[in-house]
Amino acid sequence: MWSWRFARVAGIELRVHLSFLLVILLGAWQWGGLGLRGAVFGIVLTLLTFASVTLHELGHSLVAKAFGIPVKDITLYPIGGVARLGRRPKTPGQEFLIAIAGPAVNVVLALGLGALALSLYTRPMLEASLTNAHANQPTLITLLAVMVLSNVVLAVFNMVPALPMDGGRVLRAVLSWFVGAEKATHASALIARVLAVGLMSVGLFMSPSNPMLVIIALFVFVGAGQEVNEQRLGRVLEGVQVADVVSPYAPKFSPATTLGEAVKMLTMTHYEAIAVEHFGTLLGVVTSKDILRAAGEQGAWGYIAGLVRSEVPTVEARDSLEVARFKMSEASLPFVAVLREGLFLGLVTEMELAVVADRLSSAAFRRDGAARVGQPNRIA
């Protein structure tokens, strides 16, 4: 929502959020005391800082892709970037490498820019710019010094061991090798929450107070809880085969089903996605939203044939619900088709995942787990 696509790298969409404009204005204002040249310099610095953030996210994303994890997109927000991965890493080793790749990019950038600065200027000049970077004139050495500093800050800040930040993921991965994924997630989330409360207190009580720190602390506190839910949900879903939750009573349509018949069916069931078959062959899927919208436009005598979405992700009958969830998340669709030896058994939708998660998990999890079914993994 409210974001524009500005580039595509290695098949990954790069997007920028509308609120990003504020950060650019802030950059111009920070250096605006030095006149128009200062303002332009501030904008260039802001854009270069976010280029570093983008490269950080690409670091995570390219390593994830190397492990076969699809990356949906990278979005830049004022407090940083977010890469949406199609599914969670399979092993602690994968999680470790994906998490550390982002900060590693910033370390490489800081070293590279530092070396570039040293090849152009003397060491004392660079040291003076580094210690007093923001009070300097808008020159190339100031630019290099600020970029070295921002990349160091990005690397250090992201390595704070607070889930869901990169350092927290690295911590969880390392702990997982010793105590298993579940205990590691709980321990990392606890550490993250303690750190978040500390960070929040600092942000609130320092003078002047720092709202940015408070926002980041809140993000960490909430995010740590979501990681625990996510891990628990994954474990629950891994234990159930998709074939066991395909409902034999789920309605099925044929291309000749009219919108009127379809609407009537929807009033009697709770299904949000319905298979369209022709003599036992799956043609595609229609969603209840599409049916209701089309019925409003075309009336009861239109056919559902025009609404069929033919690109349906599939899973095998023996796959787990966790696999089904990954496939839905990858395709950004709330359903998958279940096949047994090529024959269509039925659909599994987000609703079945939510019901299973709800039935099998604890009361505490019930509060907020189901709402997150199908959400992809986010990595900052």
When the beta carbons of 105 and 295 are compared against Zn ion, the nearer one is 105
Residue 102: CB minimum distance to Zn ion, A: 3
Residue 195: CB minimum distance to Zn ion, A: 16
Does position 89 interact with Zn ion (CB under 5 A)? The reply is: no
Residue 322: CB minimum distance to Zn ion, A: 24
Which of these segments, 42-50, 94-102, 148-156, 334-342, binds Zn ion (CB under 5 A)? 94-102
Does position 290 interact with Zn ion (CB under 5 A)? The reply is: no
Among residue numbers 203 through 262, which ones bind Zn ion (CB under 5 A)?
none
Q: For Zn ion, how many residues bind (rule: CB under 5 A)?
A: 3
Do 23 and 80 meet the contact criterion of CB atoms below 8 Å apart? no
Cis bond upstream, residue 124 (ω within 30): no
Residue 54: CB minimum distance to Zn ion, A: 11
Instruction: Give start and end residues of each alpha helix (H) in 135-286.
Output: 140-158, 166-179, 181-205, 211-238, 259-268
Does position 166 interact with Zn ion (CB under 5 A)? The reply is: yes
Do 170 and 184 meet the contact criterion of CB atoms below 8 Å apart? no
Q: Of the candidates 102, 223, 284, 369, which one interacts with Zn ion according to CB under 5 A?
A: 102
Among residue numbers 128 through 157, which ones bind Zn ion (CB under 5 A)?
none
Which of these segments, 96-104, 195-203, 245-253, 292-300, binds Zn ion (CB under 5 A)? 96-104
Burial 199-230 (b: 16+ CB within 10 A, else e): bbeebeeeeeebeebbebbebbbebbebbbbb
Which of these segments, 8-16, 67-75, 159-167, 289-297, binds Zn ion (CB under 5 A)? 159-167
Burial class (CB in 10 A: 0-12, 13-18, 19+), 107: middle
When the beta carbons of 9 and 120 are compared against Zn ion, the nearer one is 9
Residue 23: CB minimum distance to Zn ion, A: 18
Which of these segments, 20-28, 102-110, 190-198, 201-209, binds Zn ion (CB under 5 A)? 102-110
Do 368 and 357 meet the contact criterion of CB atoms below 8 Å apart? no
When the beta carbons of 159 and 236 are compared against Zn ion, the nearer one is 159
Token reading at 357 = 């998660």
Does position 284 interact with Zn ion (CB under 5 A)? The reply is: no
Q: Quickly count: other Cβ atoms within 10 Å of residue 19's Cβ.
A: 13
Residue 380: CB minimum distance to Zn ion, A: 5
Distance CA 38, CA 128 (A): 19
Which of these segments, 71-79, 98-106, 204-212, 248-256, binds Zn ion (CB under 5 A)? 98-106
Distance CA 72, CA 312 (A): 17
Residue 154: CB minimum distance to Zn ion, A: 8
Which residues, in sequence order, are CB contacts of 204 under 8 Å at separation 6+?
214
Does position 350 interact with Zn ion (CB under 5 A)? The reply is: no
When the beta carbons of 158 and 361 are compared against Zn ion, the nearer one is 158
Residues pairing with 252 in the sheet: 275
User: Nearest-CB residue to Zn ion?
Assistant: 102
Tokens 């290099």 label which residue? 144
User: 3-class DSSP state for residue 177?
Assistant: helix
Q: Which residues bind Zn ion (CB under 5 A)?
A: 102, 158, 166
